Amino acid sequence: MNRIKEVLDEKGIKQTWLAEKLGKSFNMVNAYAQNRRQPTLEVLYQIAEILNVEVSELLISKESLKNK
């Protein structure tokens, strides 16, 4: 599970912008944001760099998953 959608919302960034920066389709980025697909570690690091956040900020902790 990831927090890509939440981080995008916090920063006021659109998925279309991220898709363009990553060189991926909007549908792929939307699948990441909706947790229908998980990005590879390489892509996760690219997303973190583009959004200027730590990779850990894009991930949901095990504790958070247990509490859901």
The pLDDT tens digits of the residues spanning 1-11 come to 899 999 999 99
Gap between the Cα atoms of 68 and 29, Å rounded: 24
How much is the pTM? 0.88
CA 30 to chain centre: 9
Q: List, for residues 20-65, the tens digit of each pLDDT value.
A: 999 999 999 999 999 999 999 999 999 999 999 999 999 987 666 6
Residue 34 Cα distances to 15, 28, angstroms: 11, 10
Gap between the Cα atoms of 11 and 17, Å rounded: 12
Cβ(47)–Cβ(4) below 8 Å: yes
Instruction: Give the pair of three-digit tokens for residue 16.
Output: 């279309």
